[in-house]
Amino acid sequence: MRSITQAVNEKYSDDDEDTSGSGFILFVRKSSPRKRLPSTLILDHCEIDSVGDEQFLSSTLHEVNELDLAHNQISKWTEINKLISCLPKLSFLNLSYNLLGSANVNAPQILHPSLKKLVLNRVGIQWNDLVPYLSLTPNLEELHLSFNQIEISDQEKDNETIQVFPKIATLHFDGNRVENRDHLRWISTKFPSLTSLVLCDCPLWTLRWTSPAAREAQGRNMSGSSLASSSSSTGSLSASFCSGDGKTSPCCAPFLERDCTEPIGKESTDSILFPCLRSISLNNSMFDCWEEIDQIRNWPSLAELRMQSCPLFQRMTEHERREMTIARLPNLRRLNGGGDISAKEREEAERNFLRRFHDSEVKPARYQELLDMHGHVAPFAKVKLAPPKVANVSVRYGEQSWNEKNLSLYMTMKELKEKFSFELGLPASKLRLWHSDHQQPMLMRFPAKQLYSYNVKDGDEILIDEKLG
């Protein structure tokens, strides 16, 4: 184990290199030790467990504004207090993967106005223990709290003196216990100026329900009570797969039938979440119904969405997922990275959405909006791309003629010749077959070639004659 002081000396010292193996020695005046370190220090994976000489840090690191201490062994918050007090210009601090936990958290009693980005991924801290630190960083703009198993308690949600952090615009909250709409409201209230939110790998299963119990109670009041009775132990009313077509996805029907005075997709002004949010990542969430995704359009500033690997998408191709999402969310400008959604792609997605739900028993609310916008959209013509397997042809041999119905086009010319040989009582080796599509007859020369390769089709004629000699 070592201190930050030791790690800095080892990595950034100006000690002379070993010259014992050189052929001559040049004596010069010894240079003074480095007094000015880089403004960005990378000290990850250095087995650091303490600060060390505070006086040295204050005098040597006072110009440092970015410090990465990820993957070290710091376990005491008192060491973090010492560090912060020694670095008055620090704007970025990464403490990820240190075993800090929530025990004995005592924040320093001085403000740290220079800190703008704080990274605390996998340090084991809980929210209530972090608040004192956040209160002393009034200019913090970006906060990373991923994979700390942070739980949002009911007491915190109902607390009348909710502490707000209006300067924080970017929040990474991956892998924490964000499950339902109340949890999202908690985040929106704590960070009212959020423009970017990352919620990957969270057990988030609903954007419209406040809890499993509330959803289950709602289901009991719906006419589709049979759906509620078949729900899982978690209270989910959703089917195992939702296509959103009103036929194979009964999970959408109860929400459409709810007793509500406001139109679907609309919220009262005081219940709007994330008024400033422009970008959100919801990868590996637990959504299993398109009605959940429809709620995203209620976030007034949202333009960019990342959402992959949800149960809802399991039985859909990537193209279908993208097309359905774009059609349902008119506010999106970018989906899953890449360039902006073009006007052409959006129009195609919306028109295909109308085709998809044209014959559905239960249509999404978005259907009527798009119908008013694009009008009736004719369904795609059903085109059979597979070649026909049989054909009805006429056969003529001399003065005899007859019709062959459902003649297999996968039969070879040799097999057809043997068939006619049996019917005419003539040896197959003596027969020749000609194919005529009412133009110049063509001799069928290749015994192993199947009839569809000769372009035999309904209405054509097979002519039979005998070889001479």
DSSP state letters, 196-226: EEE-TT-----SS-S-HHHHHHHHHTSS-HH
What integer pLDDT is reported at residue 467 of this predicted model? 85
Nearest to 84 by CA among 44, 123, 155, 132: 132
What integer pLDDT is reported at residue 192 of this predicted model? 95
Rounded to whole angstroms, the Cα distance separating 183 from 154 reads 10
- Count of beta carbons in the 10 Å neighbourhood of residue 298: 17
Rounded to whole angstroms, the Cα distance separating 305 from 156 reads 28
Ramachandran sector of residue 379 (left: φ over 0; alpha: ψ -120 to 50; beta: rest): beta
443 or 26: whose pLDDT is higher?
443
Q: Which two tokens stand for residue 1?
A: 């184990």
Q: Which two tokens stand for residue 290?
A: 């398109």
User: Strand pairing of 142-144 and 117-119?
Assistant: parallel
Say which residues have a Cβ less than 8 Å from residue 114's Cβ, sequence separation at least 6.
65, 88, 89, 90, 91, 139
pLDDT digits (tens, 9 = 90+) for 64-88: 999 999 999 999 988 998 898 899 9
Residue 393 DSSP label? E
How much is the mean pLDDT over the chain? 82
How big is the chain, counted in residues? Answer: 469
Q: Which two tokens stand for residue 382?
A: 């059903």
- Count of beta carbons in the 10 Å neighbourhood of residue 138: 13
> How large is the average pLDDT for residues 292-300?
93
H and E: helices and strands count for the chain:
14, 17
399 or 120: whose pLDDT is higher?
120
Rounded to whole angstroms, the Cα distance separating 191 from 165 reads 5
Ramachandran sector of residue 403 (left: φ over 0; alpha: ψ -120 to 50; beta: rest): beta
What integer pLDDT is reported at residue 257 of this predicted model? 36
**At which residue do the structure tokens 């419209």 appear?**
208
Return the CATH fold of 390-466.
Ubiquitin-like (UB roll) (3.10.20)
pLDDT digits (tens, 9 = 90+) for 135-192: 889 999 999 999 999 988 655 544 445 789 999 999 999 999 999 999 999 999 999 9
Cβ(312)–Cβ(242) below 8 Å: yes
Rounded to whole angstroms, the Cα distance separating 315 from 67 reads 45
Rounded to whole angstroms, the Cα distance separating 125 from 72 reads 16
Nearest to 283 by CA among 311, 302, 312, 308: 308
Give residue 314's pLDDT band: very low, low, confident or very high (50, 70, 90): confident
Cα Rg, the chain, nearest whole Å: 37
At position 459, the amino acid (one-letter code) is G
Rounded to the nearest 5 degrees, what angle is found at the Cα of 171, between the Cα atoms of 168 and 174? 165
Cβ(341)–Cβ(335) below 8 Å: yes
Rounded to whole angstroms, the Cα distance separating 350 from 451 reads 44
What integer pLDDT is reported at residue 125 of this predicted model? 92
Share of the chain above pLDDT 70, in %: 78
Picking from 48-52, 150-154, 266-270, 320-324, which range would have the lowest pLDDT averaged per residue? Answer: 266-270
Rounded to whole angstroms, the Cα distance separating 55 from 82 reads 11
Is the pLDDT score of 100 beyond 70?
yes
What integer pLDDT is reported at residue 395 of this predicted model? 94
Cβ(87)–Cβ(4) below 8 Å: no
At position 148, the amino acid (one-letter code) is N
State phi, psi for 84 to the nearest 5 degrees.
Answer: -65, -40
User: Strand pairing of 279-281 and 196-198?
Assistant: parallel
What SS3 class is residue 54? helix
- Count of beta carbons in the 10 Å neighbourhood of residue 152: 20
Give residue 386's pLDDT band: very low, low, confident or very high (50, 70, 90): confident
Give residue 217's pLDDT band: very low, low, confident or very high (50, 70, 90): low
pLDDT digits (tens, 9 = 90+) for 410-468: 999 999 999 999 888 889 888 999 999 888 899 999 999 999 899 999 999 999 999 87
What integer pLDDT is reported at residue 317 of this predicted model? 86
What integer pLDDT is reported at residue 74 of this predicted model? 94
Give residue 251's pLDDT band: very low, low, confident or very high (50, 70, 90): low
Rounded to whole angstroms, the Cα distance separating 100 from 123 reads 5
Highest average pLDDT, of 12-16, 90-94, 110-114, 356-360, comes from 90-94
From the number of C-beta atoms within 10 Å of its C-beta (0-12, 13-18, 19+), residue 206 rates as buried
Is the pLDDT score of 296 beyond 90?
yes
Give residue 380's pLDDT band: very low, low, confident or very high (50, 70, 90): confident
Is the pLDDT score of 108 beyond 90?
no
**Beta bridge partners of residue 270, listed in sequence order:** none
Q: Which two tokens stand for residue 135?
A: 């209160």
Share of the chain above pLDDT 90, in %: 52
Cβ(288)–Cβ(241) below 8 Å: yes
Query: CA-CA distances (angstroms) from residue 426 to 381, 407, 418, 469?
Result: 48, 21, 9, 15
